[in-house]
């Protein structure tokens, strides 16, 4: 099986912190990646930027025999070694817990005590297309939280954590372990890890061009319409903008 993955350093992650999600999405679309924006996944803590590597957990629909197996661990290890805890213990600095709950947005994938481990692991945040139990408490930990909803429910009657660090879907998007997860108030974009280094300069330049255009058109009180798609006039404004900052 081909594994489309590359390790993305914390330094590279940090450089993406100021890049627009819309810009990354546009760069991916140019390369034929048209399913990278998660559907039904929203920020439960508006104003927080999320950038990190995916550590994945796949949930399955509940079934009595599966529930019994997971309650004792896949190999009889006991509750403390079940897949959800394994995923949380696998987190490190710069990592994001990504829970594939099959889009069951009102079903809990975990709550405030469980997800407090994200804090003590110094991880980057939480993303799931399921619900977050007592999400209003989880957001108090200070890290970015993205989910289908905040919910008072428990998950086990409906879903069970099953597999750690395999490929999953989340919000209708394929997420491979190690992919870069980008979240802001507009939602979550998944950047394949092997493209992260390649796309960064292009994304930074695109955001700078748009900032230059914004400043120029506001100053001159003119419409930006003639500068899209980017053309020679656009680039002249951008070059002048860079000179003013050098």
Query: Which string of b and e fits 162-196 if b means at least 16 CB within 10 Å?
Result: bbbbebbbbbebebbbbbbbbbbeebbbbbbbbbb
Domain ranges of the chain: 36-191, 198-244
66-100 per-position pLDDT tens digit: 777 666 555 444 545 689 999 999 999 999 999 99
- Please give the pLDDT value at position 68: 72
Instruction: Give the global pTM.
Output: 0.92
Homologous superfamily of domain range 36-191: Ribonuclease E inhibitor RraA/RraA-like (3.50.30.40)
- Please give the pLDDT value at position 199: 98
DSSP, collapsed to helix, strand or coil, labels residue 242 as helix
Q: Are strands 125-128 and 95-100 parallel, antiparallel or unpaired?
A: parallel
125 alpha-carbon distance from chain centroid = 8
Residue 59 pLDDT greater than 70, yes or no: yes
195-216 per-position pLDDT tens digit: 999 999 999 999 999 999 999 9
162-192 per-position pLDDT tens digit: 999 999 999 999 999 999 999 999 999 999 9
DSSP, collapsed to helix, strand or coil, labels residue 127 as strand
Reading the block at residue 149, the tokens are: 């909803």
Across the chain, what does the average pLDDT equal?
93
Q: What is the C-alpha to C-alpha distance for residues 167 and 179, in angstroms, rounded to an integer?
A: 10
Helix extents (H) in the chain: 10-15, 21-30, 64-71, 83-90, 117-120, 135-138, 196-220, 232-244
Instruction: Say which residues have a Cβ less than 8 Å from residue 87's Cβ, sequence separation at least 6.
Output: 55, 56, 57, 97, 99, 161, 164, 165
């Amino acid at each position: 099986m081909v594994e489309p993955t590359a390790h993305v350093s914390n330094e590279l992650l940090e450089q993406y912190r100021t890049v627009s999600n819309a810009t990354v999405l546009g760069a991916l679309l140019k390369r034929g990646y048209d399913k990278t924006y998660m559907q039904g996944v929203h920020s439960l803590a508006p104003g927080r930027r999320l950038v990190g590597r995916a550590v994945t957990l796949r949930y399955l629909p509940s079934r009595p025999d599966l529930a019994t197996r997971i309650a004792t661990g896949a190999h009889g290890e006991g509750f403390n070694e079940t897949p959800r805890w394994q995923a949380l213990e696998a987190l490190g600095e710069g990592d994001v817990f990504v829970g594939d709950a099959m889009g069951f947005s009102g079903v809990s994938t975990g709550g405030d005590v469980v997800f407090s481990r994200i804090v003590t692991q110094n991880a980057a945040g939480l993303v799931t297309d399921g619900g977050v139990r007592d999400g209003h408490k989880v957001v108090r930990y200070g890290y970015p939280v993205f989910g289908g909803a905040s919910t008072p429910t428990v998950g086990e009657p409906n879903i069970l954590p099953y597999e750690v660090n395999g490929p999953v879907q989340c919000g209708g998007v394929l997420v491979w372990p190690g992919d870069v997860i980008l979240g802001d108030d507009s939602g979550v974009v998944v950047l394949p890890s092997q493209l992260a280094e390649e796309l960064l300069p292009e994304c930074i330049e695109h955001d700078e061009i748009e900032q230059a255009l914004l400043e120029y058109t506001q100053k001159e009180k003119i419409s930006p319409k003639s500068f899209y798609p980017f053309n020679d006039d656009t680039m002249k404004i951008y070059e002048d903008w860079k000179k003013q900052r050098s």
